[in-house]
Structure 1
Amino acid sequence: MDFRKQKLSIAKAKEMDMVQYLSLLGYEPSKIRNNDYWYVSPLRQEKTPSFKVNRKLNRWYDHGLGKGGNIIDFGIEHYGCSVGEFLNKLNGGFSFQKPLKNIPKIENEPEHQLKILKDVALSSYALIRYLKQRKIPVEIAVKYCKEVHYELNAKSYYGIGFKNDSGGFEIRNPYFKASSSPKDITTVKNGSKEVAVFEGFIDFLSLRALHKNLPENSQDIVVLNSVSFFERARPFMEKHQAIRLYLDRDPTGQNLTQRALSMSTKYIDKSSLYQNHKDLNDWLMHIGKQQKKRLGNKL
């Protein structure tokens, strides 16, 4: 069932397979024992896997936090959002497989791991059209992205791939949003005293689109690829004299921005530029060329 084509109810969301959902987020089990899938916790930093998903029950439990529940409970904890906001993420952000009740229960079933087959220069008409819909010029995207061909559940797909510092990819196409392992931040080092920080690579490309003529070495870049990697990015960010935050305007992004501002005067909140939109790309898609020109050098 393709949940993008209909609004997802709480009951339907609870039927989603937790193991598949975690795989779409880039998390793969460290070990599998019968129906128990053990992970390094996606909710906190740890070295020994203590986050368990019982696939038969479709429930999770984080032994380090002492918390657990269904996929909605996980989403609220992971994104720091409400039930409604998480359902919106499910409706708009991912393409899912069949609900759990339609998946046979197989002991020691291998994990559904996304496997990168190859990465090549961007050339797919569908992907280029998707970039144009997001107002991202192709000549900018090809500098930072690849066309990634990957395999998931024995089927082949392709998407726009943005590489992280550990060699994994963030993958986007018109219907799918996922990550390949290993997950990590992406840094672009230009030797600048300033760094711009984004949650995802589409927002980074959006800023480049807004400043096509700006020298690429005018600032360094950090793409978190997940807000959970903020702490991982801090050592690199805080080497700079100015840290410009272009984080999302949702509660998670705004809470993280406020936390950063409270830690150091180096952090500068730039999200007021798109205050009536969910993120920088959403603003770019809805604001006309005249309004872009009005902003001038404010970015």
Structure 2
Amino acid sequence: DFLARLGHEPVRRSGNELWYIAPYRGERTPSFRVNVAKQLWYDFGLGKGGDIFTLAGEFLQSNDFMEQAKFIAEAANMTVTGWEKPAYLPKPTEPVFEDVEVIPLLRSPLTDYLAERGIPIVIASRHCCRLNYGMRGKRYFAVGFPNMAGGYEVRSRYFKGCIPPKSISLVKANDIPTGECLVFEGFMDFLSVVTLGITGNADCLVLNSLANVEKAAGLLDGYGRIGCFLDRDEAGRRTLAALVGRYGERVTDRSSLYDGCKDLNEYLQLTTKNKKTTI
């Protein structure tokens, strides 16, 4: 996540290991490895490695722990009172998607991945597509979820990103106006609620990023009831508070459904697993 916020995405994955083009020096062959299980990195080109703090130190060329911590906090958009901004913070760069092809989502390793997350193909294929695209001279494929600006949220077992422009997604229940809208942070949670069959006749709005709350405001103004299925973390609570501040009693927190889980998809996976165990 730290590397992604700085604009660096893995070139390939092997088990628990992600391989990158070294993020702080030039090279053609990826020699920078991250072990996601151990949360450690190693640069074979330099013969150095460590944890997230030592990695921040490589960017800063500093062994000062507080400077490293400040750098990580800035990359994560954390506001920490009394800290000055680090002297150097690389500007995040979005990955460049080339020759994007949008085709129907049929049975494939992508639908197997979604099934592992509790999403059946009949629901996934209704709301998602398959994206074939190039990046840095190589071809990839992923699940695509369209937004209202013509962009796509991109997700696979190994990649999470967005084909710009970034925006919200609105899924209408039908052509008849409805008085209720359900709000989700990401499309996996939206697919989860459809799988659980609890949308009723409500429209569904997917933020695709909590930074898109303001973009959603104009659409939500027309609904008398707003049900929120946001993540049960600090960012989700802040977003819920912002919506309550704007819409008051029209907003209902629906996260009690997945109490004990981080989000709705985690709850769906747990529910699916329990059903299989019972059977």
Structure 2 letter corresponding to 1:200:
G
Residue 14 of structure 1: aligned partner: 56
* SS at 1:229 equivalent: helix
Distance 1:15 1:112 in 2: 24
Q: Give the equivalent residue in structure 2 for 1:31.
A: none
| 1:265 partner SS | helix
* Partner SS for 2:189: helix
Q: Match for residue 162 of structure 1?
A: 145
Distance of 1:281 and 1:153 partners within structure 2: 31
CA drift of 1:255 comes to 1.6
Q: Distance in 2 between matches of 1:170 and 1:71?
A: 25
Question: Is the alpha carbon distance of 1:15 and 1:161 closer, same or farther for their aligned partners in structure 2, counting shifts above 3 Å?
Answer: farther
Instruction: Kindly provide the CA deviation profile for residues 17-37 of structure 1, in whole angstroms up to 9, marking residues without a partner as x.
Output: 8xxxxxxxxxxxxxxxxxxxx
2:229 is the alignment partner of 1:229? no
Aligned pairs (5 A) from 1:145-294: 145-189=128-172, 190=174, 191-211=177-197, 218-263=201-246, 264-288=248-272
The letter of the residue matching 1:75 is A
SS in 2 for 1:225: coil
**What does the per-residue CA deviation read over 1:141-195, in whole Å, with 9 as the maximum and x for residues that have no partner?**
1111001112222211111000111111101111111111110001123321100
Residue in 2 that maps onto 1:74: 75
Return the TM-score normalized by structure 1: 0.63
Cα distance in 1 for partners of 2:101, 2:138 equals: 14
Q: Deviations over 1:245-287 (max 9, x none)?
A: 0000111001211232233211110011112100000011112
The farther-off stretch of 6-15 and 129-138 is 6-15
The CA distance in 2 between the partners of 1:257 and 1:199, in whole Å, is 11
Do the aligned residues in 2 keep the contact of 1:13 with 1:71 (CA within 8 Å)? no
Unaligned runs of 5+ in 2: 1-18, 20-32, 41-50, 62-69, 81-92
**Higher RCO structure (Cα 8 Å, ≥6 apart):** 1
TM-score scaled by structure 2? 0.68
CA distance in 2, matches of 1:16, 1:232: 37
The CA distance in 1 between the partners of 2:113 and 2:144, in whole Å, is 13
Deviations 1:77-100 (CA, angstroms, capped at 9, x unpaired): 3xx79xxxxxxxxxxxxxxxxxxx
What is the aligned length?
Answer: 209
- Tell me how far apart the structure 2 counterparts of residues 232 and 16 of structure 1 sit (CA, whole Å): 37
Q: Is the 8 A contact 1:16 1:71 kept in 2?
A: no
Give the aligned residue type for 1:194: E
**RMSD, aligned CA:** 2.7
Deviation by residue 1:29-76 (Cα, 9 ceiling, x = unmatched): xxxxxxxxxxxxxxxxxxxxxxxxxxxx79xxxxxxxxxx63541214
Q: Give SS of 1:287's match.
A: helix
CA offsets 1:90-120 (integer angstroms, 9 cap, x no match): xxxxxxxxxxxxxxxxxxxx97412352011
Q: 1:252 to 1:13 in 2, by over 3 A?
A: farther
In 2: Cα distance, 1:138 partner to 1:271 partner: 25
Equivalents in 1 of 2:249, 2:127: separation in Å? Answer: 30
Percent identical pairs in the alignment equals 33
Q: Tell me, in whole angstroms, the C-alpha distance in 1 between the residues paired with 2:182 and 2:121.
A: 21
Distance 1:14 1:114, change over 3 A: farther
- Which structure 1 segments of 5+ residues have no match? 18-56, 59-68, 82-109, 292-299
